[in-house]
Amino acid sequence: MYDTTPEGRAGTAQALWAQGARVFLRPRATDSAALRVLTRICPGGCFKFDVEDRVTFAPATCTYCGTCLSVCRRTGEVVWEHPDAPTHP
């Protein structure tokens, strides 16, 4: 179970990163409101709007805070892939 408290989220995210987990944005037909919010609240500035008003993701400045996973938990648009887990389409 994912700990959604700020302390638990940060600790879990850092632990996942240390284990080799990486953040991915899934292919999707539209961008949810939750995903669009990440263009404003992602501390790494990894989510931006392109010229067609679609959300793009560039993880180079990711801080692995876990916010995106928490915010998009219900939409499934953001996934953290763990090297030991099956890959997502």
Residues that bind ligand SF4 (CB under 6 A): 23, 42-44, 46, 62-68
From 67, 22, 14, 61, select the one nearest 42 (Cα to Cα): 67
Measured from the CB of residue 66, what is the shortest distance to ligand SF4 in angstroms?
5
- Sequence length of the chain is 89
55 versus 62: smaller Cβ distance to ligand SF4: 62
Measured from the CB of residue 21, what is the shortest distance to ligand SF4 in angstroms?
10
Interacting residues of 11 by C-beta distance below 8 A, sequence separation 6+ = 3
Give CA separation, 69 vs 52, 79, 81, in Å. 24, 7, 11
30 versus 67: smaller Cβ distance to ligand SF4: 67
Measured from the CB of residue 3, what is the shortest distance to ligand SF4 in angstroms?
15
| Cα–Cα distance for residue pair 8/87, rounded to 1 Å | 25
32 versus 63: smaller Cβ distance to ligand SF4: 63
